[in-house]
Structure 1
Amino acid sequence: METRVLEYFLKVAQLGNVSKAARQLHVTQPNLSRQIQKLEKDLNVQLFERQSRLMVLTSAGKIFQERAKQIIDLSVKAQRDVLQENDLRGEIAIGCVESKIVQLLSQAIVNFQEIAPNVKFSLYDADCDDIREKIDNGLLDLGFLLAPVEAAKYEQLKLGMKDYWGIVVPDNSSWAQKKGLSLTELADLPLIVPRRTIVKEEIVSWLNHELNIVGSQNLLSNTLPLVMAGWGYAMCSAGSFVERPAAGLTFVPIQPAKEIDHLLIWRKNFVMTPAVKAFVKSIKEIDCM
């Protein structure tokens, strides 16, 4: 299956009209229609519902759209990686969680640009699970994550920068006046916790009984208005709140401190380009300073 045909499909899916897609792709409408029909025949599935002049994706078409986007992204990335083979150029795709680790990453990128000005960076903000999925699919080269991580299939570098757990509360809450929150006090509070099962299990292990969990979230930013509205208290790392501070809210750490390690991961048996190798080396040098 040619990537050209996938690009045709994606353009029709985006515009919902063969004529408009043909004009933007600089091909004839009959040729584009034949390509879409042949694609459906090869896949033995209907990708579009024809509605008057509209082309509407079927449920199978929506699934294929996501896969086609991934294939095109991988194709583009492969071309960039080949260009890097003998030189520090191209693009490094990095996933990073909401955390104070972004300070180390920012410094590393600025330093690296001085020695490798032809290298570009593509940054992706998400939680650990989303970043791991994109690394598994070859869409990201590296991931900066918070421990714990199911890391058996990854190479990993434990970084020296640590974070710690706490909760975000409204400024008018009695908890906002405290310098720290004990595990006993934490046990009965209505909590909005990270969605990752492995993190929930670790938090529960501190108390040895279930928490009062009212919801879960993958990124903190959309949860903060819910905290302000009184739905619950957001449990997060200190760094994730510092990176996205919000007026009227306060971060209260758990005491004694529950530290969180940071990891840099990449796929095992992943053939790094020279640029990625050099960047990982620069991360190690900064982390040891």
Structure 2
Amino acid sequence: MGYNEKERAFIEWYPRGYGVGFKVKQRIFETQTEYQRIEIYETEGFGKLLILDGTVQLVEIGEESYHEALVHPVMLAHPNPRRVLVIGGGDGGTLREVLRHKTVEKATMVEIDEGVVEASYLYLDVASELLDRLIKKEEPRGELIIGDGVRYLKETDERFDVIIVDSTDPVGPAKLLFSEGFYRSAYEKLNERGLYITQAGSVYLFTNELLDAYRAMKKVFDRVYYFSFPVIGYASPWSFLVGVKGDIDFGKVDVERGRGLELYYYDPERHGTLFQMPKYVRDLLERA
């Protein structure tokens, strides 16, 4: 796994020998923080590539294929999302998409690794202007907190309409963000009508992790939905899990609000296509 200087390529290897790779021109940044190794490469055809501990987080050209799918389905399914929490998401792309919604009065991003925010601000063309305003505390509707999202969720007195977890894959250190205890904290901090969403890994290659997270969420939330979306740079299709508190129907979204967003990848008018999951995976989830 990682950068092959001879081949001038970065390859992320998944289970069973499946890999996703990019041809790169050069490595432009590398550092080891308290939490993880951060690398940024210039690719041949997709702009810059952000790597955390050897795993692809995003490429500049196509990053919206992830951020749109993570943010807009839940934001448009909620009737009035005013207060939003983003856990993780240090590159700023998720918060950028959240703030496109005019209903939002306050959106808080809690990122554990300040190094990710700094590297994204300095080297990536994803949300650098937004990160600059957050760092300077000049974004009127947004707040950046450098800290542990798990601890923040337990200790905060705030309540949210939507909670979005933009984390690394549901393996290794990030597994705590896919635990029943964490889901209970999130459920408690949602308002009476609220939505929670997390990415949940590759449909084909992290199927067991998807099933584990789905089972844990079903013990906590009133209803749990699953969907998939093709994400550039990942072993797609990529899975997402949505937990519902209250009477919100995630099967429906506000199409009119969605039209005003002028999205590139996620289409609110075709929201139902999100739920097309491979039959064997759907069968496993329905038996979970």
What TM-score, normalized to structure 1? Answer: 0.25
Quick one: higher RCO (CA 8 Å, sep 6+), 1 or 2?
Answer: 1
Q: Which has the higher strand share?
A: 2
What TM-score, normalized to structure 2? Answer: 0.25
Larger radius of gyration: 1
